[in-house]
Amino acid sequence: MPRHQVLIRLARYFNVVWIDPPKAWREYWYPGAKSRRERQAFREIAPGFTVMSPGRMRPLVYRPAWLNRRVTARMLHDAQTYLKSRGANRVVLYLWRPKFAQALQLLKYDASIYHVDDEYSFSDVEQPNDAREVQLLRAADQVIVHSQRLLQKKGGINAHTALIPNGVNYHAFSTLQAEPPDLATISKPRIGYIGVVKKQLDLLLLARLAQARADCSFIFVGPIGNISGKEAALAELRALRNVHFLGCKAVDELASYTQHMDVCLMTYEINDYTNHIYPLKLHEYLAAGRPTIASPIATVLEHRDVVTLADGHQEWLVGIDHALSPAANTPQEIERRRSRARCHDWDTLVHDIAKLFNARLGLAPLGDDVTETK
């Protein structure tokens, strides 16, 4: 997820503590609970990047409200104390969801960042900004949004709002990797989707495409998410002989699957929610050099010179046929796609975020060299 990509790279500039969400108190304190023995722990999993597990003394308590606030305050204080033990003399609160806004009242800090990486109403129909989120947008010292539509909707609330799009681990996705064994047994040409299978996808369209191109293998790499209301379409898709669901894979395996597809798809339904998203897979597909076909959601329109747009069954079929042609797979076309992804490497984007941190803290500005570290 974007928050993982960002924070582990911010540790090159600052000491970072990631607080794992605490478990509900019952998971710690009920007789026989599996987590009953869990204590607070700090694990440094990369230089400067530490994961804090709250443990049974800092559980999630819903009621009463005063107890919830007290436990949460203690948890934040513990993270702050750890940072200070590492030599930190300033503290930044980096929030990724409106539900964490109470942290602004529970801890003394030097700057706060609110990073909006989704339209949290998750509504297919445009909704006004939630009043609680508006309060957070106003209170934060710096706001970051990841798409132009989110900037249009939320960017006028806080003067310190920056657009930082989603990115890609360019080196991982552009460096050739071995073909995964479970993919090697599937015949070509391979039409692939890498990501969570969810209700925002047009699953019925995918079934029709697989039926119309029976000589192609349609491959899905990723877990099944929320498909509420589309169970029948998913069942129809799964029943087709040329459709293969390979399940969830580790993050460091995804590049190898992407690289060994012949075409990559983003079959999003077009609505007010999907027009706010910035798909992580966009630049992952491009970094792998793969011909990519997508629904014309707002974010993808910005990349229409390197992505084929399709709206309607026939346009998708034409797009697939072109993507499989020699003209779409020349070294020049592959480099055009990779060049676009290279501009969205996470290292570069996080360097820009680090610059925002320095500006809000009143520190000396960072230069443009992404190799600068703390």
Instruction: For 202-234, write each residue's pLDDT tens digit.
Output: 999 999 999 999 999 999 999 999 999 999 999
What is the band of 28 on the pLDDT scale with cuts at 50, 70, 90? Answer: confident
User: Residue 240's pLDDT is what?
Assistant: 98
User: Residue 337's pLDDT is what?
Assistant: 98
List C-alpha distances in Å: 369 to 10, 13, 69, 215, 373. Answer: 14, 12, 41, 48, 10
* Rg, C-alpha atoms of the chain: 22
In sequence order, the 6+-apart residues with CB closer than 8 A to the CB of 177 are 255, 256, 259
Residue 32 has pLDDT above 90, yes or no: no
For the chain, list the strands marked E by DSSP. Answer: 16-19, 41-46, 49-53, 92-95, 111-116, 142-145, 161-163, 190-194, 217-221, 243-247, 263-266, 292-294, 308-309
Q: What is the pLDDT of residues 97-137, one digit of tens each?
A: 999 999 999 999 999 999 999 999 989 999 999 999 999 99
How far is residue 77 CA from its own chain's centroid? 28
β-bridge partners, 220: 193, 245
Q: Check the CA dihedral 24-29-30-34 and report its sign.
A: positive
What is the band of 46 on the pLDDT scale with cuts at 50, 70, 90? Answer: very high
What is the band of 37 on the pLDDT scale with cuts at 50, 70, 90? Answer: confident
Q: What is the pLDDT of residues 262-285, one digit of tens each?
A: 999 999 999 999 999 999 999 999
Q: What is the pLDDT of residues 149-182, one digit of tens each?
A: 999 999 999 999 999 999 999 999 999 999 999 9
d(CA 247, CA 266): 17
Summary mean pLDDT of the chain: 94
- Which of 17-26, 64-73, 339-348, 362-371 shows the lowest per-residue confidence on average (mean pLDDT)? 362-371
d(CA 59, CA 275): 37
d(CA 164, CA 147): 8
**Number of continuous H segments (helices) and E segments (strands) in the chain:** 16, 13
What is the band of 373 on the pLDDT scale with cuts at 50, 70, 90? Answer: low
What is the band of 371 on the pLDDT scale with cuts at 50, 70, 90? Answer: low
d(CA 283, CA 166): 8
What token pair was written down for 17? 């503590």
Q: Quick check: 295 and 225 in contact, CB under 8 A?
A: no
Q: Quick check: 91 and 15 in contact, CB under 8 A?
A: no
Residue 363 has pLDDT above 90, yes or no: no
Long-range contacts of 120-124 (CB under 8 A, 24+ apart): 121/273, 122/273, 123/272, 123/273, 124/269, 124/271, 124/272, 124/273
